[in-house]
Amino acid sequence: MQYRISHTTKYSYAEPASVCHNLVHLAPANFPRQAVHEYRLTVQPSPPTIVNRRDYFNNRVDYFSVTEPHDGLTIVATSRVDVSPPPPIEDNPPWEQIVAEFRPGTPRILSVLQFAFKSRHIPMLDQLQEYAKISFTKNRPIYDAARELTKRIRTDFKYDSSATTIQTPVAEAFANRHGVCQDFAHIAIGCLRSLGLPARYVSGYLRTLPPPGKPRLVGADASHAWFSAYCGDKTGWVDLDPTNDMLCSTDHVTNAWGRDFEDVTPIQGVVVGGGAHMMSVSVDVEPLEPTATQSQSQS
């Protein structure tokens, strides 16, 4: 499935701002089942330069500064991406086997092991471990257990955009059983890590399908988040969406992954002056007809 994606963020300030510095994770990721053919970042007012680099997790990060007085800022990221379905789950070892492979002192790769520990926004909580144990019973295959956990979160928790903010602790969202995709991803990751299992946070976009016979609503799509469970050397990372109770496939476009939300926040920045400000975000994920030949490029 090929998509054209447009992510627009607008800031308006009550007073002129003298300078702002921004770091953004808005570029889709390149990996075996996702190919980025185009990516462009435009900013108004236009900064002197936009610099890109790779962060610790190999996500693309763009950095820019606006050093002239301005009363607003518009950031637009556009891209064209091909997404393929995940391969079938052919190896599904017991979850205890994964835990044993990543115990301290075992010669496992850091790129996986680093996701087995607590992070700033996902602490190790007894209540998450108890919740996880309902699905992770003795000798149960890792994918089967993670898939059931995904289903239970979708059933037990209510999506409510007014219930939490980006700073709401995991314990609070878990206790209230309300939240958004970020909260549900954090809860799922906390459950797995509490058992010693590697799990990572994934940010991106979800294609929103219109009702039958209705046109697709421009701007109805939104930034989304889910989690990825490590299912062994042969299978690798498997992405699961607890907000929608599904295995991530061609409706999900991946931007970046990290330990939790803070590692992959779409836009982080500081502004000098400006007074009170307002922000609006619009994301459009438009399916495209595939072309016969495509050249992959990403600066």
Domain ranges for the chain: 2-84+264-288, 95-263
Q: What is the pLDDT confidence band of residue 105, given thresholds at 50, 70 and 90?
A: low
Q: Is the pLDDT of residue 51 over 80?
A: yes
Name every residue whose Cβ is closer than 8 Å to that of residue 107 and which is 6 or more positions away in sequence. Answer: none
How many CA atoms lie less than 13 Å away from 230 in the CB half-sphere? 25
Side chain identity at 3, as an amino acid letter?
Answer: Y
d(CA 249, CA 265): 22
Architecture of domain 95-263: Roll (3.10)
Say if CB 234 and CB 90 are below 8 A apart: yes
CB-CB contact of 257 with 114 (8 Å): no
With cut-offs at 50, 70 and 90, classify the pLDDT of residue 213: confident
- Domain covering 2-84+264-288: architecture: Sandwich (2.60)
pLDDT number for residue 158: 95
Tokens 């995904």 correspond to 150
pLDDT bucket at 107, cuts 50 / 70 / 90: low
Q: Contact, 181 vs 212, CB < 8 A?
A: no
Residue 15 has a CB neighbour count (10 Å cut-off) of: 12
Expressed in angstroms, the distance from the first to the final Cα of the chain is 22
